């Protein structure tokens, strides 16, 4: 939430409450133009599981997003840095790994009539059996200019069995 807000994301927290000792809320998200940002330092340990989603948001933003101080991502179940660089590159995203993160140049460069000059294209994605990568790449696929295929997407069932039906209901406006 903090990173997306720093990128210009329009997020509103509603019904803030504590459940089982953790702060939770409903989140209302409105369409917004995201801008590149720097993600580093003390916030990184709180984002280890969210970095794949942040990388996708950065791929669709204006400008450059730099993620650093995230070397721990290389030693999770999957090397999430290499995985996201490999998979987003398939879409034509100018993304490159660094020693402790990645640099992502967003595709939202527009011409005078506000159309995207070089949209990201669909691809056939590997999930690396990582549900976070699979969900992030599914969202990336929704923004692509051509269809995509997500191989091994059943790993999403580990954490969010209703993910695809929820995404489908959102796209129908429910």
49 an active-site residue?
Answer: yes
Catalytic-role residue among 26, 49, 82, 130: 49
DSSP per-residue codes, the chain: -HHHHHTT-EEEEEEEEEETTEEEEEEEEE----B--EE-GGGGGG-TTTHHHHHHHHHTSBSEEEE-S-GGGGGSSS-HHHHHHHHHHHTT--EEEETTEEEEE-S--B-TT--BSSPPPP-EEE-TT-HHHHHHHHHHHHTSSS--EEETGGGGGGT-TTHHHHHHHHHTT-
Annotated catalytic sites, by residue?
49
């Amino acid at each position: 939430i903090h990173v997306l807000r720093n990128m210009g994301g329009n997020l509103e927290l509603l019904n803030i409450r504590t459940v089982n000792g953790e702060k939770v809320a409903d989140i209302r998200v409105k369409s917004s133009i995201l801008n590149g940002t720097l993600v580093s330092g003390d916030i990184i340990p709180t984002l280890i599981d969210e970095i794949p989603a942040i990388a996708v948001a950065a791929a669709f933003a204006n400008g450059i997003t730099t993620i650093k101080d995230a070397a721990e991502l290389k030693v999770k179940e999957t090397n999430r840095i290499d995985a996201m660089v490999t998979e987003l590159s398939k879409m034509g995203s100018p993304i490159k790994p660094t020693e402790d993160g990645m640099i992502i140049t967003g595709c939202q460069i527009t011409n005078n009539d506000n159309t995207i000059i070089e949209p990201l294209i669909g691809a056939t994605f590997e999930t690396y059996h990582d549900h976070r990568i699979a969900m992030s790449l599914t969202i990336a696929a929704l923004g692509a200019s051509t269809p995509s295929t997500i191989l091994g997407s059943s790993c999403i069932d580990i954490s969010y069995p209703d993910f695809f039906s929820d995404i489908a209901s959102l796209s129908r406006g429910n």
